Amino acid sequence: MSMLRRRLEEELKLRNYQPKTITTYTAAVRKLAEHYGRSPAQIGPEEIRTYLLHLLEEKKLSSSTLNQTICALRFFYIRVLGRPWKVAKVHFQKRRRKLPTVLTESEVALLLEAAKTLKDRAILMTLYSAGLRLRELAHLQPGDIQSDGMRILIREAKGGKQRYVALSTTLLPVLRHYFRLYRPGQWLFFGESREQPIHSRTVQRMVTETARLAGLAKTVSPHTLRHSFATHLLEHGTDLRFIQEALGHNHLKTTALYTHVSPRALSQIVSPLDRLLLRPPDPPA
């Protein structure tokens, strides 16, 4: 498996897959091999199909995890082994999309006020003001904060892409104060040493703890601030395509999810029944 694993990792790297995806794909192939107790090169389409049904019916994997496993195995057999994908009648599972948790603007203010340190406050403000993913935040460098153009360069965007987002005028002085106090090196928000970016779990724990201190009843994660950023922009009339660019979404339909969670956007919809009842009656014949 070591030679095949190396080849799989090389093929994924050549196609610019993210490290997290590479780890997930290699783990999916390894688990298939462990299930049958032999090299995946010796496992045929019917056995793969049986294994996927086992994951679905017995292991009760979520639709997203099963879909990821299908993608990983298909990539391995086509790109690494050079075989056609002949696994029949196992289709991608439909994901049950849940509406995201969103904070109100007042709740965001309470969260920021509850931050224990300047660093925590700077992280929370950066996540919310720019709608960043956690990985994007962790890999910010000091030079990415471009005050002359009032923008932030996002290097570690999803899919290996880069983009710019607006730099908040409220955030800038906070980051300047943070920089003077903490003196970051390569990474704007460093971890245990200045040579390492802050760990994702560190940020997650900090956000959860700060939400508790703020007295928020909702479950709050770093991604909650990204959802809140998009929803609040929508509520204040920002064009959906601008929000799509700011979030780094490839498809507008992904961004359109926020039209379903914005109370203010919903309140602007007038039911056709209301229009009917508000219409003046027709004059008598």
Residue 182: partners with Cβ closer than 8 Å, 6 or more residues away = 118, 119
Q: What is the largest CA-CA distance in the chain?
A: 87
Determine phi and psi for 163, rounding to 5 degrees. -155, 165
Distance CA 121, CA 110 (A): 11
CB 196 within 8 A of CB 189: no
Question: Which residue in the list 121, 139, 226, 227 is annotated as catalytic?
Answer: 226
Question: Which residue in the list 258, 264, 275, 279 is annotated as catalytic?
Answer: 258
Distance CA 53, CA 99 (A): 28
Active site residue 94: no
Active site residue 226: yes
- End-to-end, the C-alpha distance of the chain in Å comes to 86
Active site residue 164: no
In terms of C-beta density within 10 A (0-12 exposed, 13-18 middle, 19 or more buried), how is residue 99 classed? exposed
DSSP per-residue string spanning 178-232: HHHHH---SSSSB-SSTTSBPPHHHHHHHHHHHHHHTT--S---HHHHHHHHHHH
Active site residue 199: no
Active site residue 35: no
The sheet that has 145-146: what strands, in order across it? 145-146, 151-154, 163-166
Question: Which residue in the list 30, 135, 158, 163 is annotated as catalytic?
Answer: 158
Distance CA 216, CA 110 (A): 8
Question: Which residue in the list 133, 139, 227, 232 is annotated as catalytic?
Answer: 133
Active site residue 51: no
Catalytic (active-site) positions: 133, 158, 223, 226, 249, 258
